[in-house]
């Protein structure tokens, strides 16, 4: 069963290559897998440096999302007034398509890198916020009563009860936000690339499309997909390790 994904992928790629060759599909429409690999090795440094640029934006946006999401979740837990003030704006940012406000953010911020991080953070922070807030509120009532009967302070209740209960929720949100940070970075790079900012793999995709270098475009897309899978797997492994260390696995 563990080999099933790899076998399916090999079968799919083999069928793809066979169909492209048998039907004589031109590479400017759909290149075969071998041509995509060849396109990558024609300019590996260009694609890998662009991938590194995208991943840097993703990593910074994810870190900011964690700090912002956890801080707002703690504020919402501490005060009903803070919850009433924060939650509607967080939801409004979450449901607003980033592609519609990214041009404004790029103009307002000015610095291209900072603007990309802001756009990716807007996309990524909500799962951390909502999951952490749900975890902080999920402490069993009987344990809360026990802490109250023993005259525990709010800080002690938070540190010894609410934060441990919230940890699995936070890690689930973190794993979601990792993928969303990459998506937000790519969308922002598309907008920035259209405006003349040459940065990241999204710009290489735009550039390849304008030049009809479709194999290189597919190579960039494959790198983005591989990056997303790697981020998800890494955050999943980190969550499993941390839960084992804390005895919650």
Per-residue model confidence as pLDDT tens digits over 191-245:
876 544 567 888 888 888 888 889 999 999 999 999 999 999 999 999 999 988 8
Tell which residue, 4, 22, 18, 48, has the closest CA to residue 219: 48
* CB half-sphere exposure, 226, CA atoms < 13 A: 10
pLDDT tens per residue, range 10-60:
888 888 888 888 888 888 888 888 999 999 998 889 899 999 999 999 999
**Residue showing tokens 């990558």:** 40
- Gyration radius (Cα) of the chain, Å: 22
pLDDT at 91 over 90: no
What is the average per-residue pLDDT within 96-125?
86
Query: pLDDT tens digit string along 146-164?
Result: 888 888 888 888 888 888 8
Q: Quick count: other Cβ atoms within 10 Å of Cβ 110?
A: 8
Count of all residues that appear for the chain in the document: 249
Domains recognised in the chain with CATH numbers: 37-245 (1.10.3720.10)
The predicted structure's pLDDT at residue 198: 60
* Global pTM value: 0.88
Per cent of the chain over pLDDT 90 is 38
pLDDT of residue 181: 94
Which pLDDT score is estimated for 1? 58
The CA-CA-CA angle for residues 179, 184, 187, to 5°, reads 125
């Amino acid at each position: 069963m563990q080999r099933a994904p790899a076998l399916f992928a090999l079968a799919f790629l083999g069928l793809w290559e066979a169909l492209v060759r048998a039907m004589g599909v031109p590479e400017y429409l759909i290149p075969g897998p071998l041509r995509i690999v060849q396109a990558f090795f024609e300019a590996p440094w260009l694609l890998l440096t662009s991938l590194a640029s995208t991943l840097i934006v993703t990593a910074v946006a994810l870190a900011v999302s964690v700090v912002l999401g956890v801080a707002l979740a703690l504020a919402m837990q501490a005060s009903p007034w803070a919850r009433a003030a924060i939650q509607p704006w967080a939801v409004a940012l979450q449901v607003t398509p980033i592609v519609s406000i990214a041009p404004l953010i790029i103009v307002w911020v000015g610095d291209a890198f900072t603007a990309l991080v802001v756009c990716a953070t807007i996309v990524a922070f909500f799962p951390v916020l909502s999951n952490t807030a749900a975890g902080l509120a999920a402490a069993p009532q009987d344990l809360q009563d026990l802490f109250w009967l023993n005259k525990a302070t709010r800080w002690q209740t938070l540190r010894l009860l609410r934060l441990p209960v919230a940890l699995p929720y936070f890690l689930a949100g973190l794993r979601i936000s990792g993928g969303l940070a990459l998506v937000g970075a790519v969308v922002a790079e598309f907008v920035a690339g259209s405006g003349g900012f040459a940065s990241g793999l999204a710009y290489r995709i735009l550039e390849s499309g304008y030049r009809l270098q479709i194999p290189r475009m597919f190579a960039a897309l494959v790198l983005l997909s591989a990056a997303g899978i790697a981020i998800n797997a890494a955050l999943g492994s980190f969550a499993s390790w941390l839960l084992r260390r804390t005895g919650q696995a």
